Amino acid sequence: MSDLGRLSRRAAPLILAATLIAGIGSRRASAADFALRDGDTVVFLGDSITGARTFGRIVENYTLLRFPDRKVHFLNAGWGGDTAEGGLKRLDRDALDKGATVLIVAYGINDIGWGTRADDAHRKTYLDSIRGIVERAKARKVRVYICSAAATAENPDTAERGYLQKMCDDGMAIAHELGEHSIDVHRAMHAIQRKVIKANEGAKPEDKQSLHVADGIHLNDLGQLAMAFAIIKGLDAPAEVSSVDLAVEAAGPRLAEARGCKVTGLTGGLDRLEFDRLDEGSPINFGLFGALNFRFIPIPDELNRYMLAVKGLPHGRYAIEVDGRGLGTWTDEQLAKSESLASATSDGWQPGGPWDAQAWILQDMTQGRDKMSAGRLFLDHYLPNHPDRDRLHAMDSEINARIEDLQRALVKPRPFHFVIRKAS
């Protein structure tokens, strides 16, 4: 039996565990489980799918919003056309020497030439390079997450039995063998892909959805969001942001339970309640019409549960406003069962609660910071002998630090004033 065959047999139990870790499993994570810690510097290493700099920004925004007390720095070292072998060659310059403490690695498609070089020689080069990346990062005390490649437009049922998935399975097994981590992006995206395929049945050609651009390899915005979801889940993100349970009784309103937040100033009666809610973190949102993607990607249930329950209200409909922003109306039965307000809005053209508005604004701040980061990476690649390179880097670092301060100031937890009143 070949070395690769022995590796595959030895790795089978580890691959099963990796699949469960990928975000498909049902284990209930808590905020304490989330893999990115205060003070971390996270580097995304990969090819053009990483270099598109989209899923990395979503992971960054999620971390900023959900864990605002953790100062985590993000760098994108994606490079178009790159392979795991290329990533190993530039690992020190583009990741380890940048102060990485967490390395998220996603290769595979270019390594086998989009399927034209799916042979033992290229598979061995990929696996040797993955091993080299993990070993070299571990030597620098960097935590490593080896991801399987992003899903292609191939039918997910055949793709999961295909060469790319099996090769990536062995790459993830190497990470576990060396005491590090894996995220099975490929299978997690296939679960989303199946929902898209189902939704496309009977749809007009112009209405059909996809995770990919025309080449069937590179991801569109929906595909990048699916990949970000897989990675965030693979980092053990919790489903619940925070939760408030209230009860309306004859003596007045009562706080039954608050998780992930503090409730103060609870007043009111049967037709109107008011209180202040100070959350430890905020849900993530994606701007105008961003919630439409939730029909395919289960972000509301698995990442974004920002809950409110009010029991004992008289029969009727109730409007909810937060800091003067309307979220919509709910029946007393709906509120008694608990509702997520993460993306609720009374006007689809406007953000809902203040947490929604700040998530919209944060997207632009993060994109600006990321553009600066791209310029720094390109300077090192294309103009390594620029006479003012060190001074440019120093100026860039100063600006980057100021933007990071701006991001954190925006999402710093503050009390939100809730008003629940009988709707006219």
Same domain for 330 and 346: yes
The DSSP line for 349-387 is: TS--SHHHHHHHHHHHHHHHHHHHHHHHHHHHHH-TT-T
Q: Please give the average per-residue pLDDT across 68-82, as a whole number.
A: 96
DSSP 271: S
Q: Which of 151, 164, 238 is nearest to 195 (CA)?
A: 151
Same domain for 214 and 280: no
Tokens, residue 247: 């009860």
DSSP 207: G
Q: Please give the average per-residue pLDDT across 352-364, as a whole number.
A: 96
Same domain for 101 and 43: yes
Same domain for 262 and 149: no
pTM value is: 0.91
Tokens, residue 365: 């701040």
- Number of H helices and E strands in the chain, helices first, is 14, 14
Same domain for 113 and 90: yes
Q: Please give the average per-residue pLDDT across 136-147, as a whole number.
A: 98
CATH (domain of 39): 3.40.50.1110
pLDDT surpasses 90 at 70: yes
CB 292 within 8 A of CB 327: no
Strands 416-422 and 317-322: antiparallel
Distance CA 271, CA 310 (A): 12
- Predicted pLDDT at 337: 95
What separation, in Å, do the N-terminal and C-terminal C-alpha atoms of the chain show?
75
Query: How many structural domains does the chain have?
Result: 2
Q: Please give the average per-residue pLDDT across 131-138, as a whole number.
A: 98
Residues of the chain with pLDDT > 70, as a percent, come to 93
Q: Please give the average per-residue pLDDT across 87-105, as a whole number.
A: 97
Same domain for 245 and 169: no
Strands 261-268 and 317-322: unpaired
- Predicted pLDDT at 28: 61
pLDDT surpasses 90 at 21: no
Tell me the β-bridge partners of 78: 46
Residue 124 to residues 11, 81, 151, 277, 332, Cα–Cα distance (Å)? 16, 19, 21, 54, 61
CB 330 within 8 A of CB 317: yes
Tell me the β-bridge partners of 104: 44, 145
Tokens, residue 134: 């993990």
Q: 3-state DSSP call for residue 122?
A: helix
- Predicted pLDDT at 385: 94
CB 322 within 8 A of CB 282: no
Mark which of 179, 213, 234 sits at the end of a domain: 234
pLDDT surpasses 50 at 61: yes
Same domain for 129 and 73: yes
**Identity of the amino acid at 147:** C
Distance CA 347, CA 350 (A): 5
Min mean pLDDT across 246-255, 374-383, 407-416 is at: 374-383
Q: Please give the average per-residue pLDDT across 244-270, as a whole number.
A: 95
pLDDT surpasses 60 at 26: no
Indicate the pLDDT class of residue 7, thresholds 50, 70 and 90.
very low
CB 225 within 8 A of CB 286: yes
Tell me the β-bridge partners of 326: 321
- Predicted pLDDT at 95: 96
Same domain for 224 and 189: yes
Mark which of 168, 200, 234 sits at the end of a domain: 234
Tokens, residue 215: 């080449």
Q: Show Cβ contacts of residue 214 under 8 Å, excluding neighbours closer than 6 positions.
A: none
pLDDT digits (tens, 9 = 90+) for 194-211: 999 999 998 999 999 999
Q: Please give the average per-residue pLDDT across 227-232, as a whole number.
A: 98
Indicate the pLDDT class of residue 27, thresholds 50, 70 and 90.
low
Across the chain, what does the average pLDDT equal?
92
Q: Which of 40, 23, 19 is nearest to 103 (CA)?
A: 40
CB atoms within 10 A of CB 355: 26
Indicate the pLDDT class of residue 289, thresholds 50, 70 and 90.
confident
Same domain for 397 and 367: yes
Same domain for 326 and 229: no
Same domain for 244 and 225: no
Tokens, residue 332: 């007393």
- Predicted pLDDT at 377: 86
pLDDT digits (tens, 9 = 90+) for 323-339: 999 999 999 999 999 99
- Identify each DSSP E strand in 161-316 by its residue range: 181-183, 240-249, 252-259, 261-268, 272-279, 305-311
CB 249 within 8 A of CB 273: no
- Predicted pLDDT at 143: 98
Full residue range of the structural domain in which residue 322 is found: 240-424
Mark which of 182, 209, 234 sits at the end of a domain: 234
CB 56 within 8 A of CB 49: no
For tokens 């993955």, name the residue. 130
Q: Show Cβ contacts of residue 319 under 8 Å, excluding neighbours closer than 6 positions.
A: 326, 327, 328, 329, 420, 421, 422, 423
pLDDT surpasses 80 at 10: no
Q: 3-state DSSP call for residue 183?
A: strand
Helix (H) or strand (E) holding 192: helix 185-200
Same domain for 369 and 343: yes
CB 413 within 8 A of CB 281: yes
Q: Please give the average per-residue pLDDT across 221-241, as a whole number.
A: 97
Q: Show Cβ contacts of residue 193 under 8 Å, excluding neighbours closer than 6 positions.
A: 151, 156, 211, 226
Indicate the pLDDT class of residue 240, thresholds 50, 70 and 90.
very high
Distance CA 340, CA 327 (A): 11
Indicate the pLDDT class of residue 6, thresholds 50, 70 and 90.
very low
Indicate the pLDDT class of residue 250, thresholds 50, 70 and 90.
confident
- Predicted pLDDT at 380: 87
Q: Please give the average per-residue pLDDT across 147-168, as a whole number.
A: 96
